[in-house]
């Protein structure tokens, strides 16, 4: 990771094994668990690439809230990513049936909507 040209953001949280402590273990191992509300915990994975005419573009590959993903969010509107994710989350949790088309119309910018990995879909379209 130190030699990559990309920015890498990694957080690893842990907590003490209280069961082992209560059983009298002197040096209990840390468990990969830890803080639930870690301010620096990454919740989204965006793939940034050079889009049409050199415009920086992002695809949502993964996030903690939704199953559906989006693709082709163009700079300078990257701050809209959170708004779009929350719209998707709301639609997925809604008791009403929401179509991809209806949901896309509610977005502040034209993006593609996917049930799957946008990078794989775009790669197969080439």
**Tens digits of residue pLDDT in 9-21:** 666 667 777 777 7
| Rounded mean pLDDT, 39-51 | 82
Same domain for 74 and 109, yes or no, is yes
Task: Give the pLDDT of residue 70.
Answer: 95
Burial of 28 from C-beta contacts in 10 A (0-12 / 13-18 / 19+): middle
- Look at the chain and report how many structural domains it folds into: 2
User: Could you tell me what percent of the chain has a pLDDT over 90?
Assistant: 31
pLDDT computed for residue 43 by the predictor: 78
Angle value at C-alpha 118, between 32 and 83, nearest 5 degrees: 75
The answer, as to whether pTM is greater than 0.85, is no
Q: Is the domain of 106 the same as that of 71? A: yes
Question: Which structural domain, as residue segments, surrounds residue 112?
Answer: 43-125
Range list of H helices, 2-126: 18-22, 80-93, 100-105, 118-125
Is residue 2 domain-resident? no
């Amino acid at each position: 990771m130190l030699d990559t040209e990309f920015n890498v953001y990694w957080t690893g949280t842990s907590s003490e094994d209280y069961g082992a402590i209560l059983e009298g273990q002197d040096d209990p191992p840390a468990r990969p668990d830890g803080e639930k509300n870690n301010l620096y915990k990454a919740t989204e994975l965006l793939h940034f690439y050079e889009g049409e005419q050199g415009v920086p573009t992002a695809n949502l590959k993964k996030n903690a809230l939704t199953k559906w993903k989006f693709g082709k969010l163009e700079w300078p509107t990257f701050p809209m990513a959170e708004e779009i994710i929350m719209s998707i989350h709301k639609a997925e949790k809604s008791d009403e049936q929401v179509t991809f088309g209806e949901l896309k119309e509610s977005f502040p910018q034209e993006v593609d909507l996917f049930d799957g990995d946008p990078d794989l879909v775009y790669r197969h379209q080439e």
